[in-house]
Structure 1
């Protein structure tokens, strides 16, 4: 490790990054260099060895039943009961009993997130090559630091470099030479970088040659080799940019490249005239070579080319665009019956009838374009009219291509960036599998496809293995874990024993034993007892200890501690529900805007907060601040826009991300936003004051960073903590601050923390000088008020992302919501004893 760091060069950014950041705008925030990340990770390892917290033990309470996102599967072709499953943020797991049980084999390295794996099963040592950093470009896709290799089943790993790769799409091994491998590097997710493309090693990973590079925004997403002639390779290059407010998922530099000299040089084989789609709409591409006849090559592409507008004018109703450019006279001339039908069809509140809306326009209460403005939504999830998934086939080794599908394939919608893999049966050139929201199979060479998502298989598919000796036997990896079928997907069983849930947020109640609640990536909201220990006995009575509260991508949870039965929970973009667990009653909760306003903007993880002073009061953040005095029955909008405003793009931006009310003073409220605003209200949310802005005598806070958490202290009324997160700029510096004067001035904490974005901070319930933080690289505590943080190491993976922390005061326990390894609980007595 030391030699790797030495070769990377000196730290030219040390000591000046913080000062630069404080004066930069959001778009200028610099990515953290790999040199800094690697040095921080090395320091973390040293800190872990010497941590005073090494005796604090954690227990995992699952849950495992819903699993987490799988990115790759590699199976022993001679014994399919042995295979490896790689999770996006849950590490690498090994089974020798067909998935009945698994052992983690990548828990002690510098990162835990994986992009792709490749196993040399022919080698007596079963060499594992592992590329870190998932390529699916999700909102929680974590950057890796390059390549690893193990020759003893994961007991020991050798770091092979490529630290600026961040996200690795494919690792491909030479079928005959164990020293030769190729790696498809996608590159940074939120910033351009020149280290994208194809890399080759001929000495087992000691050195790498960068053989294919296009530009700073075009990386390699897939890479396939002709097994009969390993000098022949195909690479899929993908133009992709992502910012916090916009995702550009296609471009004219996307395409298929071929090498005939073992990956030394490359030629575009999908250009104009080849038959393959080209232009600005070419998105993510997946490749597959038929091993029995390598002249046959398949490609699947996310074609973002827009479809023609097929909306037809109707004499009975209007379309949204009819309201876009109206003046008062034009609005007055609208047909009342058609307007009424449009309002009903678009679910306008009952108070907005055709007559009342016309009167509002007539009297200048709203603009003539008010209806268009009211419905204008750009949340990144509306289905754009794009071509979507297409399949192409070449029968001449990539010289020419022909689209095979005769009809649209509805598995991508508008977000094909999240999928994009294709597989061909090793036995049948016409049997092709494609993965997207659904998994589909074709038996006629890609002309038609049928869905194989039957019972007991999760959606959102990312990986597939086909048994080379029996192609009806398939193993599938998706957002819900590892699923296995022996009959072409007609029937499935889940191999989901590892606890690899990706929690966004958690909460606890005061029941005995207390329950833990949490929202998970693509797996809804669940709750279960804190004394749970994962085991298989539940299958005898059919009662798994954890129960599901809702679907979608599970988000924040608040529990009314007066009854431990009233739960507020929801899914992405602010769709929340109040549930009475005893009566099983549900109430949908989401604030609405008024005619004359644009729609509210909701963060992916929209924040909610129950007042500890009166738990009938629910606070809710969009781009504005909302409050209900009656358990969410009515939501009042109390503020104007508390962000820096909307920003053009296809991802909601300019949204509130965190809310906190002082436990010591009712109505003392803080909010933080995704564009760096931090504000305080001392009157219950009616009036707000901006905090943290630099001034002549006050350096303030770094500007433009995502406010991941603001926490009002339980110990002193004027004390407040804030954590800032640069993940969405590939800026991984750790930012933790405290204010003792209601946010007027700030002091930075944790100066020795490694380069890991910080997600959450909590206070200890018994000592005001003990703090806990969760970062994208682990769990830490400080016993000196934040001067120095130490990592927890016992019973919890060292580098797992920690998204949330809850404290159960009665039991004196810390509850940790990880994004990749479920929930951990630890006793706080030994931490608190360090202060005595």
Structure 2
């Protein structure tokens, strides 16, 4: 008799017995499916109201925008960068935003400068929330952001809200077709200059760093504006940045120079907005400045090149997140606060932000952003802003998500920072769920629904705080703390992962907790601190972990039995019910545990730096030969975010978009994968990025057949290939 989890054991199973329960390895022959990294489908969070109004595909934003710039020769081309959620471009005036990370290795973008005479050429600085990677450097694109080349590695990632790049419009070379001179003012390393359009950079001034930079459009003078104690005020260089003359000592927080007023300099400082009409020799208030506070610094200023009477500015408040935006349409005499129309915004609107980009041809059109991380547009000169972020899906999954095995079209997922959302139609429309009860958002982890009506999440006071289970019994309308049978709150003591029994949706799992009454009461499990997945084939065993060990249950999670220890711990796991083997993410690597007890590290395609940082693994329940692995590097954006095998692990393919984008509508695909799962109904792969939103990938159409157990060719391959497949060492 060959056991298949029929009988529960009263004591932990030995490795040999537990793996024997998983059956012998049955090799599979498969026709490898071709890689198509253009097949990605974005899954932005979009409401029915947005769908009904004609919006498609939607875009929730969710990552703080650090830069937003517009081409001076093509008003339909804009670049946008977030702190840690990637960079985006639009080629149609914001009707569609497209993630454009080919060759861009930083997590986000701090600033962009578009060549004022050639919109194909763009400079950008990489961004992150830390300074640990050389990927946070300077990049050049010669095809409007369709692909990038890093030209100057730098570590300064946390360097947002500063104008660090500027082209010299007077350096335009009509033969080459672009401006040859540009400047990059680094945070920690001084001022750099290029004279070949952006490929080679030279340090020209080691002292003048961490300032805002601008260039006189016709004379090539370099302006640096600073607000710190080292270099407060305005500085001008007439020798290409080698030496500077200080023109004013008052701290300056923002600067603006426009092509249509080459001798003008607009600055933002305490007391309002000021203007120089003589290249910085003298300044006066730009207008009467009525409506602006005089006791706080104005932090930024933007002016329309089509009509300099149109301008916008911003000042902060007591908290880092407080932003107050103003606009003027009479040259700075009267300032007003804009109106924000948030009808089409999915996430809560909390505060405005201001990275203004005025159209070079129409003074009434101006683009900006909200603090929640989405782009807005005004068609009345900044008086009213509307959501304009179609295509920007950048929400961060709160640790994990799982499809219900009994209701796969219904998915509830939690988010770090932005509460949660639920879809009842395979992601076509979503409903925002205010789990935390706070207006701005919430820290939510391990969200799940077994049926679209009952749903829960681990609610936390911070990213690293304890997760306390909150649950809704009415489809997310109201929320309460879940309780034990003794009336105590339920606090996670295991993994941030949830699931439900594949044969009885009333049996639910959240971290180390189990419920038998569809979440009404909960009890801690003995022998399991997280349920990850179930065998889609009978007898539908549940699989989880306890500490560093894989465990399984054949009695709906009542008791658990140890399979094997996995050195390095367990981040995620998947089970092949046909070949009876485990795929395990452990210590940033993918490992394969075979039924003969062999645990091997699997060789996967490496990223641009020769690394592999595996984060999640999933199998196609309709064909377990289709294995998907998600990777993320955290310190940089890895180029192997999604890896797939369509032949049971013999060969691996990189599904990450790595060739230049062909047009403005081609999906840029996922990056920095946090978690992935395969929808059991549609067999589509779902990828949740770490600040890069949701994406789907269609199931391959590979012909798969069970091979003979003693197939000599496959057995030989399995034994000879040490890491490429699930081989024995």
**Bin for the TM-score computed over the shorter chain:** 0.5 to 0.7
3-state DSSP of counterpart to 2:69: strand
Q: Is the 8 A contact 2:670 2:692 kept in 1?
A: no
Matches within 5 A, 1:586-605: 586-589=479-482
C-alpha RMSD of the superposition: 5.6
Structure-2 residue corresponding to 1:120:
115
3-state SS in 1 of match to 2:117 = coil
* 1:94 aligns to 2:90 (yes or no): yes
In 1, are the aligned partners of 2:165 and 2:183 still within 8 Å (CA)?
A: yes
Q: Which residue of 2 aligns with 1:454?
A: 340
2:140 aligned with 1:148, yes or no?
yes
**1:548 corresponds to which of 411, 426, 432:** 432
Q: Distance in 2 between matches of 1:139 and 1:686?
A: 46
TM-score by length of 2: 0.62
Which residue pairs with 1:710 in the alignment?
Answer: 572
Q: Which of 634, 639, 645 lines up with 1:782 in the alignment?
A: 645
Aligned-residue offset at 1:464: 1.3
> How far does residue 116 in structure 1 lie from its aligned partner after superposition?
2.7
Instruction: Report the CA distance shift for 1:586/1:531 in structure 2 as closer, same or farther (over 3 A).
Output: closer
Q: Which SS does the other structure have where 1:774 is aligned?
A: strand
1:154-303 correspondence to structure 2 within 5 Å: 154=145, 157=147, 159=149, 161-165=151-155, 167=157, 170-177=164-171, 178-185=179-186, 196-213=189-206, 220=210, 222-227=212-217, 229-234=219-224, 258=235, 260-261=237-238, 264-265=241-242, 274=249, 276=251, 286-289=253-256, 294=264, 297-298=267-268
SS where residue 479 of structure 2 aligns?
strand
How far apart are residue 72 of structure 1 and its match? 3.1
Q: Is 2:675 aligned against 1:804?
A: yes
Shift of 1:686: 12
Q: How many residues are treated as equivalent by the alignment?
A: 581
Measured at CA, do residues 472 and 738 of structure 1 come closer, stay the same or move farther in structure 2, by a change above 3 Å? same
Once the two structures are TM-superposed, the CA of residue 473 in structure 1 deviates from its matched residue by 4.4
Post-superposition CA distance 1:777-803 (Å, at most 9, x none): 331113566565311268753673333
Superposition deviation, residue 209 in structure 1? 0.9
Q: CA-to-partner distance for each residue in 1:665-694, whole Å, 9 max, x for gaps?
A: 6695346xxxxxx577899899999x989x
Asked if the contact 1:454/1:489 (under 8 Å) is kept, the reply is: no
For 1:316-356, what per-residue CA distance to the aligned partner results, in whole angstroms no more than 9, with x for missing partners? Answer: xxxxxxxxxxxxxxxxxxxxxxxxxxxxxxxxxxxxxxxxx
Deviation at residue 179 of structure 1 after TM alignment: 0.4
- The verdict on how the C-alpha distance between 1:756 and 1:485 changes in structure 2, with shifts beyond 3 A counting, is farther
1:542-594: CA deviation from partner (whole Å, max 9, x where unpaired): xxx33222372674454443x33222246763476423355944324599xx9
TM-aligned CA distance change 1:682 to 1:616, over 3 Å: same
Name the counterpart of 1:610: 499
The alpha carbon displacement at 1:834 in A equals 9.3
Structure 2 SS opposite 1:508: coil
The partner residue of 2:395 within 475, 489, 502 is: 502
CA distance 1:660–1:515, change in 2 (3 Å): closer
Cα shift readout 1:581-614 (whole Å, capped 9, x = no counterpart): 55944324599xx99xxx99999xx824234377
1:669 and 1:685 in contact (8 A); partners too: no
Higher relative CO (CA 8 A, sep ≥ 6), structure 1 or 2?
Answer: 2
Residues 221-265 of structure 1, C-alpha deviations (whole Å, 9 max, x = no match) = 743334465323216699xxxxxxxxxxxxx87977845145534
Q: Deviations over 1:199-236 (max 9, x none)?
A: 2101112311134557xxx9747433344653232166
Q: CA contact under 8 A between 2:168 and 2:216: conserved in structure 1? A: no
With over 3 angstroms needed to count, the CA separation of the structure-2 counterparts of 1:770 and 1:467, relative to structure 1, is closer
Identify the residue that residue 514 of structure 1 maps to in structure 2.
409
Whole-angstrom CA distance in 2 between matches of 1:832 and 1:231? 65
Confirm or deny that 1:567 pairs with 2:451. no
| In structure 2, C-alpha distance between the alignment counterparts of 1:745 and 1:800, rounded to whole Å | 32
Equivalences for residues 685-724 of structure 1 within 5 A: 700-701=567-568, 709-711=571-573, 713=575, 715=577, 719=582, 721-724=584-587
- Give the deviation of 1:93 after TM superposition: 2.6
| Structure 1 position 491 matched with structure 2 position 384 | yes
Q: Tell me how far apart the structure 2 counterparts of residues 221 and 835 of structure 1 sit (CA, whole Å).
A: 64
Q: CA deviation at 1:180?
A: 0.6
- Name the structure with the higher helix share: 1
How far apart, CA to CA, are the structure 2 residues paired with 1:455 and 1:139? 36
> Counterparts of 2:678 and 2:587 in 1: how far apart (Å)?
21
User: After superposition, where does 1:655-670 map in structure 2 within 5 Å?
Assistant: 660=532, 669-670=545-546
Q: Which secondary structure state, in structure 2, belongs to the residue aligned with residue 67 of structure 1? A: coil
Give 1:182 deviation, angstroms. Answer: 1.6
Structure 1: which 5+ residue stretches go unaligned?
1-49, 187-193, 239-251, 277-284, 301-389, 412-419, 534-544, 643-655, 672-677, 694-699, 702-706, 726-734
| Cα separation, partners in 2 of 1:768 and 1:425, compared to 1, 3 Å | closer
Q: Tell me, what secondary structure is at the counterpart of 1:477?
A: strand
Aligned-partner SS, 2:193: strand
Say which of 350, 366, 380 aligns to 1:474: 366
Distance 1:547 1:712 in 2: 29
| 3-state secondary structure, aligned to 2:701 | helix
8 Å Cα contact 2:184-2:193 kept in structure 1: yes
**SS of corresponding position for 1:454:** strand
Picking from 116, 122, 126, the partner of 1:129 is 122
- Distance (Å, rounded) in 1 between the aligned partners of 2:135 and 2:531: 27
